[in-house]
Amino acid sequence: MTAATVAVLVELRDGAVTRPTYEAMTLARSLGTPVAVVLADDFDPAEGARLGTYGAAEVRIVAGDVRLPSRAAAALKQAVGDAAVVLMVSTFVNKEIAARLAVATGAGVVVDAAGAEMIDGRVETTQTVFAATWNVRTRIESERAIVAIRPNTTMAEPAEVPGVAAESVVTVDLPAARESVVSVEPVPAPEGVPLAEAPVVVSGGRGTNGDYTLVRRMAEVLGGAVGASRDATDEGWISHEHMVGQTGTTVTPALYLACGISGAVHHRGGMQASGTIVAVNIDPDAPIFEISDFGVVGDLGDVLPQAIARIEERRRAR
Ligand SMILES: Cc1cc2nc3c(=O)[nH]c(=O)nc-3n(C[C@H](O)[C@H](O)[C@H](O)COP(=O)(O)OP(=O)(O)OC[C@H]3O[C@@H](n4cnc5c(N)ncnc54)[C@H](O)[C@@H]3O)c2cc1C
């Protein structure tokens, strides 16, 4: 039986392919033969070659103004050809594209998936729902499966046998625009690594008492992003883009470090699916410890400087 074609929608940031795309490419290899689809007028061939090292047999470049999800979905419908699986990173925009593409092609769709497998010719996904209190396994019964996969749920690894990454430009017929994008300007990104994609998130809550110096330092040492509880952002100690939880960003990093956060259900809903959860709290009965893999009962003003010093010491010893 020939392997299914798995079209992977490529995410670009400043012209470079993002790490979550390589995670999706890695997952795509376990489902079939990956084909990368790039929606961009200008694509660096070196980036295409790198997609090949992650197994892309082909890189299809779709030029044209596809900034609106409706047009991106119309372009993808044509560019993915007969791919049995369409995989993309679970971002807000991609979730809309996935839904539109599913309606347009009659495909089954799962967004915010944490994993996907090919079983008896059908894709099965896993995901957590209801504030990460339930694990759900879904089998997509349609001929085509569309899956939006959360960042940090697959380890990005180059292929043992690289793909050919043959580049081609796909010309698509786009429907007449019902809306048009007048301008696109980046909002200044919050400091450091983007929260939703970060492999490590160090969050501070009310226990910081408004001083984020140690939380930021720890995030810097671990190469992670800075998160916060809603109470901390409501206090104006840190901007709302850093909020993790039900009304903030949902994160699934490999390591989540909660500093001075009680672990209210609204906060847990946005971080409970993280790989390893570590908490620092002065209260041994804080609910955050119920979901922590590793807990330190202590003042973050004592614990974090010692942890930072030990991490730096070990790095120097290497
Ligand atoms: C509809 C709704 C939606 C919400 N959405 C969100 C959301 O998206 N995200 C979110 O975070 N919250 C959300 N909340 C708020 C949530 O219910 C909690 O109020 C909030 O998460 C508590 O923040 P906290 O843990 O920082 O503060 P607290 O609950 O006050 O906890 C502070 C913790 O710090 C510890 N501490 C104090 N001093 C120190 C120290 N020196 N060292 C170490 N530990 C210390 C304390 O023991 C305590 O456990 C929402 C609430 C509602 C009603």
Answer yes or no: is 148 within a domain.
Answer: yes
Could you give the CA distance from residue 140 to residue 125 in angstroms, rounded to a whole number? 8
- What is the reported pLDDT for 191? 66
Answer yes or no: is 44 within a domain.
Answer: yes
Counting ligand 1 atoms within 8 A of each CB, the residue from 209, 261, 272 with the most, and so the one to mutate, is 261
The answer on 21 and 55 residing in a single domain is yes
The answer on 219 and 151 residing in a single domain is no
**DSSP one-letter string for 57-93:** SEEEEE-S---SHHHHHHHHHHHTTT-SEEEEE--HH
The answer on 292 and 256 residing in a single domain is yes
Q: Please, are residues 168 and 61 in contact by the beta-carbon 8 Å criterion?
A: yes
The number of distinct structural domains making up the chain is 2
Mean pLDDT (whole number) for 294-314: 97
Domain that holds residue 79: 5-170
Confidence of residue 298 (pLDDT cuts 50, 70, 90): very high
Nearest C-alpha to atom 31 of ligand 1 is from which residue? 262
228 pLDDT more than 80 = yes
Mean pLDDT (whole number) for 13-17: 92
Tens-digit pLDDT profile for residues 104-159: 999 999 999 999 999 999 999 999 887 677 899 999 999 999 999 999 889 999 99
Q: What is the CATH number of the domain that holds 199?
A: 3.40.50.1220
Give 288 Cα–ligand 1 centroid separation in angstroms.
10
Could you give the CA distance from residue 1 to residue 309 in angstroms, rounded to a whole number? 55
Helix (H, G, I), strand (E, B) or coil at 276: strand
190 pLDDT more than 80 = no
Tens-digit pLDDT profile for residues 148-177: 999 988 999 999 998 888 999 999 988 887
The answer on 108 and 234 residing in a single domain is no
The answer on 224 and 147 residing in a single domain is no
The answer on 240 and 138 residing in a single domain is no
| Ligand 1 first shell, C-beta below 6 A | 205-207, 229-232, 243-248, 260-262, 264, 266-267, 270, 280-283, 286, 299-301
The answer on 258 and 218 residing in a single domain is yes
Confidence of residue 183 (pLDDT cuts 50, 70, 90): confident
